[in-house]
Structure formats: C-alpha cells, structure tokens
Amino acid sequence: MKKLFITTLLLGICVACNVDDVDSDLTPVAITENSADCVADNPPSILGRTYLRSGFEIDTPVDANGDGIYSTDLMEEQLCFDLSLSFGTDLRVSNPTFDAVSLYVDNDGNGNLSQRMNCSHADGLPNRYMQIGDTIKFFISTSEEPQFTGTLSADETTITFEFTNDLLFGFNFLAGGNEILLQDGTVLEYEGGATVTYTLQ
C-alpha cells in the first residue's frame, strides 16, 4: 500500500511538471518591469504619438546666427528643421541622438571669427522603447540596458532628455565639431552636455 501511494505521488508530480507549450492570446505591449504592462489593454501612453524637437540647451551661450545675442538654446540661435520622434506601435522609435547639432568657429582670413552651427540627421536602426511611469527608456538592438532615458511631463506634452557629451554625436562624430566662440573672442572645445526637449505634435 505504501509503495502504491509513493508511485501515485511521483506520477502526479511528473504530470504536473510536464505541461505542453501553448500559444498565449496576450500580446506583449512593452518590455517593462511591471507585469501589468504585458496586458494587451494596458499599452504605453505614448504609443503612436509623434513629438517634435523644440529645444536644445547647452551650458555655454553662443551666437550662431550672428545677431549679437548669445543664447544657450541652439534652437533660438538657428532654426533647425523640425525633427520628429515617433513612437511606433511596434515599440520602435527613431534615435534622438542621431538628430545632430555641430558647432564650428570660422576665420575669414583677417582674424575675424564667427560661430557657425550645422544640423544633420544620421541614419541608423531605430531604438526599442519602453515606458515606466514618466520615464521612457531607449534600448539599442537587443541590449537589456537602456542607452539613455527621457522624462515625460505630467501632461505628457513634452519629453526631456539630459544627454551627456558622449551622446552628442554632432559634437563628437559624423565629422561634427564642438568649437565654441565665447563673447571675449576665446575659442574652446565644448565638453558639456545638453538638455534636449521634444514637444507633442
């Protein structure tokens, strides 16, 4: 009787641990730290939205448009074309660090210096994204660690990025420049970061 009981118990365990794979009818919406985000009716609030770049603040004021007024917001100095950030329903989004700004100091040959700014966009694979509250994480390819994050405003109309200098591709890569012409005529290399803002379209 004891042997029969043990045999029945072992058989029950084996059956319980051998479950055939079944297809789930739930479609994961985002890879998040909250299991509730895997529920099909709980998508990220930014899903399908498009934001346009509206601000690019650096630490040092420059006069890139030659009007004699120095500003730390490069969008005020020279209107770059509107660059969009569209959060696709496939959980892919363009990389905002590819919307590059480069700074140069030109010399007319007579010792007269002037600040110049170029805007460009680099092609590349889109990022994966996920939203946790007001934080939006951007991932490269299959990386499990985010490359950078953005902060969504309470009314969800703006996204703010705090980019370190190494993420400012226009200053460091893509044949970019990071020369700053100060008001006293001094030229230096910009080593600071940037606060980049996108506004809901």
The H-or-E segment that residue 108 falls in is none
Task: Residue 80: count other Cβ atoms within 10 Å of its Cβ.
Answer: 18
Gap between the Cα atoms of 39 and 31, Å rounded: 11
Neighbouring-strand partners of residue 116: 104
Per residue in 126-171, pLDDT (tens digit) is 899 999 999 999 998 778 899 999 999 999 999 999 999 888 877 6
Distances (CA, A) of 182 to 64, 82, 179: 11, 27, 10
Q: Report pLDDT for 146.
A: 94
Return the SS3 of 6: helix
Q: Report pLDDT for 173.
A: 57
Per residue in 24-71, pLDDT (tens digit) is 333 334 444 443 343 345 689 999 999 999 999 999 999 999 999 999
Q: Report pLDDT for 141.
A: 74
Q: Report pLDDT for 42.
A: 67
Q: Higher model confidence: residue 32 or residue 97? A: 97
DSSP state of 176: -
User: What is the rounded average pLDDT of the residues 163-190?
Assistant: 82
Tokens 């009818």 locate to 25
Residue-range domain boundaries for the chain: 29-200
User: What is the rounded average pLDDT of the residues 108-119?
Assistant: 91
- Average pLDDT of the chain is 79
Task: Pull the structure tokens for residue 106.
Answer: 């030109």
Task: Pull the structure tokens for residue 137.
Answer: 């994480």
**What percent of the chain is predicted at pLDDT more than 90?**
49
Gap between the Cα atoms of 75 and 61, Å rounded: 12
Q: Higher model confidence: residue 83 or residue 176? A: 83
Tell me the HSE value of 126 on the side-chain side, using a 13 A CA sphere.
13
- Residue ranges in the chain assigned as alpha helix (H): 2-17, 74-77, 169-172
Gap between the Cα atoms of 180 and 153, Å rounded: 31
pLDDT higher than 60, residue 10: no
Q: Report pLDDT for 41.
A: 53
